[in-house]
Amino acid sequence: MQRRDVLRAFGAATALALLPHEAVAAWSRVASGVRPADGLSDAHLALVGAIADTIIPRTDTPGATDVGVPAFVNIIVSENYTDADRTAFIAGLDGIEAQAKSAGAAFVDLAPSARATTIETIESSTDRRAEPARTYWRLKGLIVHGYFTSEPVMKQVLKVEIMPGKFDGAAPFAGKPSPSGAGHSHA
């Protein structure tokens, strides 16, 4: 099974369960185009985008940045994280960047294979609570969550109908008449 298939299966199984309040609110904020005041820097957003596209690249379906995942992550981190959590997350992003630079360049400037190697190195870390692995796993969760709750992915990839069927309030009612005819008056 390909990684994309696993992610698609995970997304289909959890998208609606994860969709409620916070994802809808975050995607609404992303759609407004307003960038949060306490959001990530341009450099951090570029890093998030590069990591997101390494995890979920564009294939025959949109990639993570195609659907706006970096903006989603920015909203979640800036509006839902405490100041301490946001500071730790940014420091963790800096740790990911430092690890990439030890491989030769900033993460966004690495070739796709070098990006994948950097991520594999972080994912193979035995202690997910140590930085930069802790931030990476939090980020990966946000990326997958954001991707599968985005409107384009839900409609085009998962083929989820948020409100299946059509509501027709004037549809005729084909109920059974009561045996005694009670309740019906014919004038």
pLDDT at 43 over 80: yes
Looking at per-residue pLDDT, the higher value among 24 and 123 belongs to: 123
pLDDT at 27 over 60: yes
The pTM score is 0.73
Q: What is the pLDDT of residue 105?
A: 92
Render pLDDT for 51-84 as a digit per residue (tens, 0 to 9): 999 999 999 999 999 999 999 999 999 988 999 9
CB contact at 8 A, 145 and 77: no
Radius of gyration of the chain (CA): 23
Q: What is the pLDDT of residue 18?
A: 45
Residue type, 78: S
Tell me the average pLDDT across 117-126. Answer: 91
DSSP assignment string, 109-161: GS-HHHHHHHHHHHHT-S-TTSTTHHHHHHHHHHHHHHHHHSHHIIIIIS---
Q: What is the pLDDT of residue 119?
A: 94
Torsion of CA 145, 54, 41, 110, to 10 degrees: 170
Q: What is the pLDDT of residue 52?
A: 97
Phi, psi of 88 (to 5 degrees): -65, -40
Looking at per-residue pLDDT, the higher value among 45 and 37 belongs to: 45
Q: What is the pLDDT of residue 13?
A: 47
pLDDT at 16 over 80: no
Number of Cβ atoms within 10 Å of the Cβ of 118: 24
Residue type, 146: G
pLDDT at 139 over 80: yes
User: Which two structure tokens, joined as six digits, stand for 96?
Assistant: 């990911």
Residue type, 14: T
Q: What is the pLDDT of residue 28?
A: 79
Looking at per-residue pLDDT, the higher value among 170 and 58 belongs to: 58
Q: What is the pLDDT of residue 103?
A: 78
